[in-house]
Amino acid sequence: MSAAEATPGEFVHRPRRGAELFLLLLALTVGLGAYAAVGLGMEDEIPADMATYGGVLALMVIACHVVVRFVAPYADPVLLPVVAALNGLGLAVIHRLDLTYTELGRDDGFASRQLIWMALGIALFIATLLVLRDHRSLQRFTYTSGLAAIVLLLLPLMPVIGTQINGARIWIRVAGFSFQPGEIAKVLLVVAFAGYLVLHRDALALAGRRVLFIDLPRGRDLGPILGMWLISLGILVFQRDLGSSLLFFGLFLVMLYVATERPGWLVVGGTLFAAGAFAGYQAFGHVRQRFDLWLDPFAYYGEGTSDLGRQTVETMFGMAWGGLIGRGFGNGRPELIPFANSDFIFASIGEELGLTAVMGIILLYGLIVERGLRTAVVCRDGFGKLVATGLAVTFALQVFVVIGGVTRLIPLTGLTTPFLSTGGSSLVANWVIIALLLRISDQARRPLPAALPEEDEEPDAATTQVVKL
């Protein structure tokens, strides 16, 4: 029934779940096709477990679709297929690297573990949609979320459970399992920032001194951004994690600007960021080393050097060898890049699938960010707008610093590529982020009932028009 045919008070339902199912089938084609291509390229035959692997992957993805269909029928139809395509491609690339590592005498089994983490992420995705029926209920936990995020960020510094891996102290190890609490903390920080800014944005939006046509914020309102700046510097100093430091401070700064619509906050935040970067470069050797490796990686590559530039240099060689369309699975040497299945999986894809696949992946990430910001635009409450904005900005910043570091646009940061890289904590947290975006978009896209006419009036065209978001 069209909008013009609708009777007063009726809805025109546009859940778009059929479109989502069709896109999911295309996404499964990407993941399963990549898995089959790995077998053909590495072993000249389709993997023997193709049917089992395909069935498990399809079962998990379709389970997500069924849950969304029943508990969030008006949710955005594009987000889930895009995530399924990225996750399926990531599993195939990790499996390809596993085959090479096995030939080299390392039987790590990263792909099987990643599939288990994907199952856990999907379980939490489903649980989030089933338990959280209204995103606005999260606003009650504003300060609780902030406190929990700070506790999670401090856990890696604890002497018993905290552990240092690859120079960064951002992991905890419990019962033989390692986990990165900062991945969960970023979700909690988005909720805490959104709840705080909804309550205080009017005060934070007040203008202070005007400098060069820009109204700077008042001095008394600088407390929150100074506090977040100090927390980011603490992460940089004590945890030696440049990526998370940039992510958290950038996230707060963008959400603050969106909430207040004051460019002055960007000026203040940019100044603080520049001051922190300069101080970090002058005071801390690991920060200075990142910049030196970025400026001249060849000076740290090969015999007679520390060989710290190997990651960057081998990445440049590999992506140049891949060219426009790549060499195909099995015809490259991505294993020469240290941590090719985690921090540098984007370089592995660039070498064997080429610039075309790299551009396609960036486009998929752009779709996630665009759909998140679109959800923020159509959301009807301020808290939901800020949460959706924060989650979308989290993806945007993380993808930028990861891909920027791999391609030498910016210094290396050490973050994982969402849904592609090996890493259970990152994968689980990102599935929860997608669930939150779907819940907010479901609330935002629900059709509103048309106003009922008076008893002695005939319904006009405006009355029968149904709002469709």
Q: What is the pLDDT of residues 334-343, one digit of tens each?
A: 989 888 888 8
The length of the chain is 469
pLDDT at 85: 96
* Percent of the chain at pLDDT exceeding 90: 53
Does the pLDDT value for residue 55 go beyond 90?
yes
Residue 221: CB atoms within 10 A of its CB come to 18
pLDDT at 172: 84
pLDDT at 262: 87
pLDDT at 166: 66
Crossing angle between the packed helical segments 263-283 and 285-295, to the nearest 10 degrees: 100
Confidence band for 450, pLDDT divided at 50, 70 and 90:
low
pLDDT at 167: 67
Q: Which of 20-34, 110-124, 209-223, 410-424 has the lowest mean pLDDT?
A: 209-223
Does the pLDDT value for residue 283 go beyond 70?
yes
Q: What is the mean pLDDT of residues 268-295?
A: 86
* Percent of the chain at pLDDT exceeding 70: 90
Do 87 and 60 contact (CB within 8 A), yes or no? no
Residue 459, in any domain of the structure: no
pLDDT digits (tens, 9 = 90+) for 166-222: 667 777 887 767 788 888 999 999 999 999 999 988 888 776 677 676 777 877 778
Does the pLDDT value for residue 449 go beyond 70?
no
- Structural tokens at position 405: 């570091």
Residue 455, in any domain of the structure: no
Confidence band for 8, pLDDT divided at 50, 70 and 90:
very low
Ranked by mean pLDDT, which of 110-119, 332-341, 449-458 comes out on top? 110-119
Give dist(CA 336, CA 314) in Å, integer.
Answer: 7
Mean pLDDT of the chain: 86
Confidence band for 2, pLDDT divided at 50, 70 and 90:
very low
Does the pLDDT value for residue 458 go beyond 80?
no
Select the more confidently predicted residue: 302 or 321: 321
Residue 395, in any domain of the structure: yes
Number of domains the chain is built from? 1
Confidence band for 278, pLDDT divided at 50, 70 and 90:
confident
pLDDT at 83: 97
Residue 458, in any domain of the structure: no
Nearest C-alpha neighbor of 273 from the set 246, 241, 244, 235: 246
pLDDT digits (tens, 9 = 90+) for 362-416: 999 999 999 999 999 999 899 999 999 999 999 999 999 999 999 999 888 778 8
Q: What is the mean pLDDT of residues 76-99?
A: 95
Select the more confidently predicted residue: 2 or 434: 434
Residue 464, in any domain of the structure: no
pLDDT at 9: 44
Instruction: State the residue range of the domain holding 317.
Output: 17-450
Residue 319, in any domain of the structure: yes
